Amino acid sequence: MTTLTNQLADKIIQEQALIIGPIAWEQAGKVTGLRIDIIKHEVSIEGDTRDVLERLVAQYEKLFGKASREVCRDAVRPLLSQVPEGEIPAVLK
């Protein structure tokens, strides 16, 4: 996947980490298609970008409610204009 789409996942995790701490990285590690190096804080998406990003947002929402979805949207908003429309999941629009 492109560096930019990896940045979307990274921004979401980092923003969640500001709120919930290291649990954000732990929860992201449970998302299928997301490869995470917690020590280096590096993220890469393997597979369909939209599906992986949707699963990431859903993982946080499942545990922390709809407010976490808004945190995810706010985190990636500055980058969305640079991402191809087909790679942006509806949950982040």
Per-residue pLDDT for the chain (93 aa), expressed as one digit of tens each? Answer: 478 889 999 999 999 999 999 999 999 999 999 999 878 878 999 999 999 999 999 999 998 999 999 999 999 999 999 988 888 899 998
Contact 27, 36 (CB under 8 A): no
CA pseudo-torsion sign 8, 37, 17, 61: positive
Q: Which two tokens stand for residue 9?
A: 């996942």
What's the pTM value of the predicted model, to 2 decimals? Answer: 0.91
Contact 34, 56 (CB under 8 A): yes
Confidence (pLDDT) at 1:
46
Confidence (pLDDT) at 84:
86
Confidence (pLDDT) at 38:
79
